[in-house]
Amino acid sequence: MKRLLLGFALAIAALTPFVVQAMEKPIVYFSFDNIKGNTVPDLSGNGNDGTMENNPKIIDGQFGKALEFESSRVKVKASDTLTPDLFKEGMFTLVVWINAKRTGNTWQQIFRAGPDPNDTLFINNDGRLSWRGWVGAAWAGGMCETDPNVVEANEWTHAAVVSDKKHFRIYVNGELSKESKFQETRGNNGEYVIGGYAGGESYSGAVDEFAVFPAPLQQDDIKLIMEKGVTASTAVSPSDRLATTWGEIKSY
């Protein structure tokens, strides 16, 4: 029997010469489902909890609860995992569900590094998404920017910004919407903000399932997260399942 099981395991290995690698785990993840007072718990396990300012509203989201922003925000301090130079170093993925009103300020900050202006995911009232930042001695508008109307008003839309240090890519509802050449921003961010800073570029709309990964995810990974939620990124990979099977055979 043991030989039979061993032969079965080897047959599986022969049929799967390329084992899918486990998806990178997020370094910060907000589901917005278990908010305690003004604290938004980081479910990545890295302790990058957020602090709400000016009372964003808890509403029903795409997965469980979400936060609705109107001149309000969630601030997260830079840390050993959510590092000051994360976006400068250029190996990252940011994923988020948004429900934008597309009213109010022309350019609105869904996400922004700070306190000085830097790496920012904007939405324009015409429905385009734009990844911008401080490059060299100047602000670089539209480092990666989609066409207008990729985001419909008052509808849930999934967005992802990916960088592999060669290209920026923006995915909308799991599909590639824009690709452009990578540009290195100045880094040294002290904090990160969801909902934008007070002033003329704060975000009007809702956010759900926000996460940042320290690696460029593939399109299939982004689609999985969009369909199943960020917790899908911690699911057991095929390589883990094979290792488990092998361990069970050895202990048989």
Tens-digit pLDDT string for the chain (252 aa) = 444 444 444 444 444 443 445 678 999 999 999 999 999 999 999 999 999 999 999 999 999 999 999 999 999 999 999 999 999 999 999 999 999 999 999 999 999 999 999 999 999 999 999 999 999 989 988 899 999 999 999 999 999 999 999 999 999 999 999 999 999 999 999 999 999 998 889 999 999 999 999 999 999 999 999 999 999 876 534 333 333 333 333 333
pLDDT computed for residue 203 by the predictor? 97
Query: So where are the chain's domains?
Result: 23-235
Q: Specify the pTM.
A: 0.85
CATH topology of domain 23-235: Jelly Rolls (2.60.120)
DSSP string across the chain = -HHHHHHHHHHHHHH-SSPPPPPPPPSEEE-SSS-BTTEE--TTSS---EEEES-PEEEE-SSSEEEEEES-EEEEE--SSS-TTHHHHTEEEEEEEEEE---SSSEEEEEEEETTT-SEEEEETTS-EEEEEEETTEEEEEEEEPPTTSS-TTSEEEEEEEEESSEEEEEETTEEEEEEE---------EEEES--SSTT--EEEEEEEEEESS---HHHHHHHHHH-GGGGGSPPHHHHHHHHHHHHHT-
